[in-house]
A and B are shown apart, each in its own frame.
Chain A
Amino acid sequence: MSLVLVGTSHRLSPVEVRERVAFDLAGAAEVAQRLALDGEAVCLSTCNRTELYLVDTDPEAAETRASKALLGDEVELYRMTDEAAALHLFRVAAGLDSLVPGEGEILGQVRDAYEAGAHGPVLDRLFREALRVGKKVRTETAINESPASVSSAAAALAQQVFGDLAGCRVLLVGAGEVSELAARALAARGATIAAVTSRTQANAEKLADAFDARAVPFDRLGEELERADVVVSSTSSPKPVLSRDLVPGHGRKGRPLFVIDLAVPRDVEPDVAQLEDCYLYDIDDLQAVVRESLSGRRREAERAEAIVDHEAERFRDWQASLRVVPAIASLRERAESIRSGELAKAESRLEGLSESERRTVESITTQIVNKLLHLPIVRLKQAAAAEGSGYVEVARDLFGLPGDESVDQSRKPRK
């Protein structure tokens, strides 16, 4: 049984090509079922990649089927087998093949693809390992800890000021898409979007409804500032809308105020940053944080690669050990038939034994067989991982075992 991967991703194809071979989850499940035949198949389709993982006794036929499904004549595809394919999936699950290294969404997408696929023993193991490796990389490195977008950087900085954002009141000044994105990032971390104000009241009301917040008239900005912990400003005003005089000092009782100015031209006068307990970040500051954060992710990616390499090697060993499973099964079967045959021959001489004595004889002969086979089986597994199938052939020859029927044909894929 060989593992075959055929796919395309953002590294190879632009979006107008990728969208032609993209599948939703139901479509991915259908493709997997169709391509599996008697083997196994999983289709991983996200906005950045579509990949088909197949396990088949005939890798060339599997590759042809997968290429056809992904319009191989028109779409540029990559093809990998066995260890390289496993390494690739582990890198994908770890977020190392993503546009933003370490992004977390891919892990859920790999899980969904696995659950929707037609997986048997090999893909089951491969995808479970990939999910484990993805989690391990995120636990043991800091690859996913720093923000990768302006809005998530703003939310992370707010956390650096307030810690837990639960109970933090956010005031949105401006009701455009940029405000909404930042608000979503803050709300995702527990902040409460308390009020929205905009020069166009209807826009403020619309966005306020989305967050179950209050829409307040623009001329009441000063009052709202007194109650807010975080201010997100992104109006299209040509002049600053938030000045130093507007920010209340005494009414805040020492609570910090975190001001995020996402507008160009800027909405907040720079000298607001001079106020005690007031922290002001404009779009350039946030972009600098994101740049630094991405370079940090790339540094962490080096450590993650080492983890992924090690795990891929372990998977290769496991896959290699599968090659000896039929040989080991034949060996055990042969030994057991010899043991039971010899006992049957001796039946007349064992007639006088009690039931308990018979059980003892059964047990002793079984133990002898097991002990004799233990070391050869261990060596076979080790050799299979290290040297491939040559050693298995020698074992078959030495013990007179039947020919290779490959991995566990009886175990049909699920689904």
Chain B
Amino acid sequence: MAELLFWPALLAYGEAAVAYAGDARRPGSMGRLATWGVRIGWLVQTALLVAQAARADGFPWDTWAGSLNLFVWLVVGAYLIWGCKPRFRLLGLVVMPLAALLLAISYAAGGVGGSGTSGYSTLFLVGHVGLVLAGFAGLTLAAALALLYLWQERELKRRSSTVLRFRAPSLVTLESLFGRTVAYSLPVLTIGMAAGFARLRHGSQLDPLIVLTVLTWAVYGAFLVLRFGAGWHGRRAAYMTLAGFALVVAMQLSLHMGHFA
């Protein structure tokens, strides 16, 4: 059942990615098709996750591939908060190809099947894995917004004559949004990390992943202090968001190599 739901979800995300590309070339009905692709794909993926949860004994996304599946769902869900608005369609051009690609990787790596064989309790896994992934999803979206900010800022600086052709949110809106998205995501990540630390046995050694996690947290923490305390803004703030996201990507890859192994 779960596997059957994978294909329509992937198809809808793929359709949304292609339609967003079409909409960027020629704004209009393609944008609406893309939005419907995102909505339908997300609903189908929700059904897929529900089917997985119903079939599994414990937490069904306790493998790297499974967590990727959940991560995609969280990213697309977070995107849907703004993504339906026409001005945020360019953001979909960044988010949806990534979502489709990661969902396909998750499927290829067996993340769509059942699992729940972890030795940890379901409550712990929901608290730790679920919240860390939700935090990552928010930070991914913040990175996409920062990327869109940098692109738009460059176009305006270069005085590009086509800057008005693509309907994108204003610089001020984007800057405010990626700052706020980090501000909401970091506490979620912090609670997820705290749940993980609480399960560390006394005398356990800190593995490189934990160090990387703390480093990521520190970068985003510094971002918030500089952004809202010291008035960092514009390009510097956007680059710092992207630097933090590079660490998030490194963590995702490390999870594959170590944490879930």
A interface residue numbers (CB < 8 A to B): 140-142, 145-147, 153, 156-157, 159-163, 253-254, 256, 273, 276-277, 279-281, 285, 288-289, 291-293, 296, 299, 303
Contact = CB atoms under 8 A, between A and B. Distances in A.
Contact of A140 (B28, B163, B164): B28
Interface string B71-98: 0000000000000000000000000000
B173 to A, nearest CB: 5
Interface of B: 26-29, 152, 156-157, 159, 161-165, 167-173, 231-235
Nearest to B236: A276
A220 B231 CA distance: 27
B234 A162 contact: no
Contact of B152 (A156, A160, A253, A281): A160
Contact of A281 (B28, B159, B173, B231): B159
B162 A292 contact: yes
A146 B162 CA distance: 10
A292 B166 CA distance: 12
Contact of A156 (B164, B168, B231, B233): B164
Nearest to A146: B164
B248 to A, nearest CB: 26
B157 A288 contact: no
A8 to B, nearest CB: 34
Contacts of B172: 161-163, 256
A276 B157 CA distance: 10
A145 B26 CA distance: 13
Contact of A291 (B157, B161, B234): B161
Given A160-B170, A162-B172, 4 more contacts: A157-B164, A162-B170, A254-B234, A277-B234
A163 B170 contact: yes
Contact of A273 (B157, B170, B173, B235): B157
B225 to A, nearest CB: 15
Contact of B28 (A142, A279, A292): A142
Contacts of B156: 157, 160-161, 279
Chain A CB within 10 A, most for which of B164, B165, B172: B164
A152 to B, nearest CB: 10
Contacts of B168: 160
Contacts of B29: 140
B164 A147 contact: yes
Nearest to A303: B28
Chain A CB within 10 A, most for which of B152, B156, B159, B167: B159
A147 B152 CA distance: 18
Contacts of B161: 285, 288-289, 291-292
A312 B102 CA distance: 48
Nearest to A145: B167
A146 B165 contact: yes
B163 A289 contact: yes
A303 B26 CA distance: 11
A279 B169 contact: no
Contacts of A142: 27-28, 167
B96 to A, nearest CB: 21
B163 A159 contact: no
